[in-house]
Structure 1
Amino acid sequence: MKKTLITALAATIALASASTFAYAAKDGDKRGGGRHGPNIERMLEKLDANNDGDISLAEIKTHQENIFASVDADDDNSLTQEEFEMISEMRKAEREANKQQRTETAQSNDNDGKRGGKGKRGGKRGPSFDRLDADNSGGITLTEFTGHADKMFKRMDRNSDGVINSDDMKRKNG
């Protein structure tokens, strides 16, 4: 059952990730991910539910709620360690799909001198189970799971306009 669920979720993520990016960055800002910051194209594809080119706090919370619901296999509104680890499996499948897409893009761009997405990030991503389980109950509630969204959103909304978009990803001059 668990293997089937993970496989189905991975296939869904792979299909969504395999499509071309919904938005190119505005004003020619094509900064990628890695140590330079998040890849805005991927963020928009993943989080911009209404396709307006902006990511709102509500869209981020909805995305988190959907992730939570998709891995809460027993529907008890709390994630066990095993359920939480399914998120890592989903992310791994998504990274593999993105890697495949970057490889295909790099191969198609080899003859025109464009750089392919060859950046590589190592290490564990995302908060740990223990860090999210604020009350040490052995389970992560939806409130605990989404609790860091406000802080993360504020940090990423560099121009404080209430949305995250390519304007927030540009380097500040001076």
Structure 2
Amino acid sequence: MTPRITLPLLAALCLAAPALAQGQGFDRIDSNGDGRISRAEVDTLRLMIFDRMDADGNAVLTRAEVEAAQEAARARMQRGSQRLWRQDADGDGQLTRAEFSSRARGFDMADENGDGTLSRAEFDRAARTIRQLMQ
């Protein structure tokens, strides 16, 4: 069964994306560094997302704050969709497996020394760029 992604979940994921994009995904959530993510650590992530949604910082989410987070998520998804469809090389409105996988520009740009791998420093620089684009 495919999990259902609701707009609030999508908004939460988009709000968490900057931290995750910084290469802090697993490491940031695994706050005790034991190589496992506990429910308590996920709850901490959820509170971080809550705090990002709580625009006025009063520890209460209003309908307006949730809707603003949802709108931000929609805008990010729209930008992502536009970037995805730029990969339709022949412009036929269909994205083939070859078209989808042939565009490694992001990786190539991040791989500054051209060695075919991303160092932690290269990944972190690329993640900062992604985060800035998402804001």
User: Which TM-score tier does this pair reach, normalised by the shorter chain?
Assistant: 0.3 to 0.5
TM-score normalised by the chain length of structure 2: 0.38
Structure with the bigger percentage of helix? 2
TM-score normalised by the chain length of structure 1: 0.31
